[in-house]
Structure 1
Amino acid sequence: MTQPKIALVTGGASGIGAAAVRRLAAAGYRVAINYVGDDGPARALAGQIRDEGGECITLAGDVSDPAQVAALFDTTIAKFGRVDALVHSAGVDTAWPVPIAKIEDADVERIVRVNVLGTMWCCREAARRMGTSGDGAGGCIVLVSSMAATIGGRVGKTVYGASKGAVDGLAKGLARELAPEKIRINAVRPGATETPMLGAFAHDEVYARRIAGSIPMGRVAQPEEVAEAICWLASDAASFVSGALLDVSGGGFSIAS
């Protein structure tokens, strides 16, 4: 009998991460749901997964802290025996566009620590635990990047765009580095997606129309649409796919938006 695969999903309590948790659980994965802050959404999601017959755990942890990242992997392996897939969805941004001349030091540091360093820490620990030169049997990593990486982001979102450019670089470089370890790594690049991170979208109708109008398909994505791409990249159906940057963007977006 085939053993269920094990997935660790960072930022798994809301938005794209939560949609990925639900999709992976539906595909038969046992899932470790990482969250930071309030544990309510993670517990509610875990309850839903269990009610539907899935198996999961919830793990508090800040991905910008390398010690906490290591603990996420240690706890997942202690519970499930291994990690087959890392879906790294944790990420932050400012709620509203902020010109570079006005952005606060704390916001820049937070974006870089979570989006860039956090991605590096998570990839490092995945390589250590999954790599065949150690005790691992290989596996896959799916990073959640952004279409912002393609042109540096929308106006007022350039720090975020730069951070996601680093994520793309990691996916491309680590695909070569980790192939001998039997680890695949890819990134999905969502466009504007209806999640809490979109912030102002939910509170400003004019801004919402402008964002939707900048996308060729005329609307923002739903998290579940991005989760489908994530689940495919994590699956054996993508067994020869590594180093790919998969756009889930409705055709891209206008630089003028």
Structure 2
Amino acid sequence: MTVENTTPRVALVTGGSGGIGRTVVERLASDGLAVAVHYAGNKAAAEELAAKINAAGGRAVTVGGDVADEGDMTAAFEAVEAAFGGVDVVVHAAGIMILSPVAELNLDDLDRMHRTNIRGAFVVAQQAARRLRSGGALINFSTSQTRLSSPGYAPYAASKAAVEAINLVLARELRGRDITVNAVAPGPVATALFFEGKDEATIERFTKMTPLERLGTPQDVAEVVSLLAGPGRWINGQTLFANGGAA
């Protein structure tokens, strides 16, 4: 007789207290995964989300820390393992976006963004590579701006292009462990981060960029993450452009 394994898979979502990361947490919890909601500064929002999931019958904890600090992330992964017994899925959604024409860019802003977006991606990927269980998945976040190349996005797109460069290399380094490594590259998504600093004409231009003639939603992106975290096992070393056909 085959005994069904009822132990839930475990996901850690960096940047899970807000924005797209929060929606990803909610989606993975609805998929039946135990979730760890990571936060950098907004502890209250992370705890509110975890409490909501637990009240609905799911399993959730919170972990904090700077994604670019190896000590913080070691402690975060250890906390998840202590709470749930291991880690199966890591979704690295934490990041910052600073927009500026190249000629006007404050290089201190460039350094700050690259520390979070590039060093942070390496720190989290390093922990994931060491700790993910067989059948696991690392899902990074890139951006469709690595292809759309809109003015003002060069510093941000450069930091995310580095994230894309990790995927296939790390997937090959993890040969034999049944672990996938992919990235999701959203197009324009209706979040507070997207709307910040944009006038109506700019928002309309981004809206018309896709054949669907709408902005994406966090749920659109979370759906792709759900695929990569679960049934999409034959997708590996790839960047999936979740952008509604933006060109």
TM-score, normalisation: structure 1: 0.90
Alignment map for 1:41-52 (pairs within 5 Å): 41-52=45-56
Report the TM-score, using the length of structure 2 for normalisation: 0.93
Indicate which of 221, 228, 252 corresponds to 2:223. Answer: 228
Q: Determine the C-alpha separation between the residues in 2 that align with 1:128 and 1:175.
A: 13
Match of 1:118 among 117, 120, 136: 120
SS in structure 2 of the partner of residue 7 of structure 1: strand
Deviations 1:134-187 (A, max 9, x none): xx4351111111101225x32111010011111111112112111222211111
> For residues 49 and 210 of structure 1, what CA distance do their matches in structure 2 show?
37
Q: Is the contact made by 1:150 and 1:165 (CA closer than 8 Å) also made in structure 2? A: no
* 2:205 counterpart residue number: 210
Contact 1:215–1:252 under 8 Å retained in 2:
yes
Number of the residue aligned with 2:191: 195
Give structure 2 stretches of 5+ with no counterpart.
none
**Is 1:76 matched up with 2:70?**
no
Identity among equivalent positions (%) equals 37
Residue 240 (1) aligns with residue 242 (2): no
Deviates more, 1:209-218 or 1:188-197: 209-218
CA distance in 2, matches of 1:127, 1:211: 36
16-25 vs 244-253, greater mean Cα deviation: 244-253
What is the distance in 2 between the residues matched to 1:27 and 1:37? Answer: 27
Give, in whole Å, the separation in 1 of the partners of 2:246 and 2:142.
14
The answer for unaligned runs of 5 or more in structure 1 is 131-135
| 1:85 corresponds to | 89
What letter corresponds to residue 134 of structure 2 in structure 1?
A
Runs of 4+ in 1 over 6 A off after TM superposition: none
Residue 138 of structure 2 aligns to a residue in which SS? strand
Equivalent positions of 1:1-257 (< 5 A) are 1-94=5-98, 97-130=99-132, 136-151=133-148, 153-200=149-196, 204-235=199-230, 237-253=231-247
Q: Distance in 1 between matches of 2:74 and 2:193?
A: 25
Distance in structure 2 (CA, Å) of the matches to 1:178 and 1:33? 25
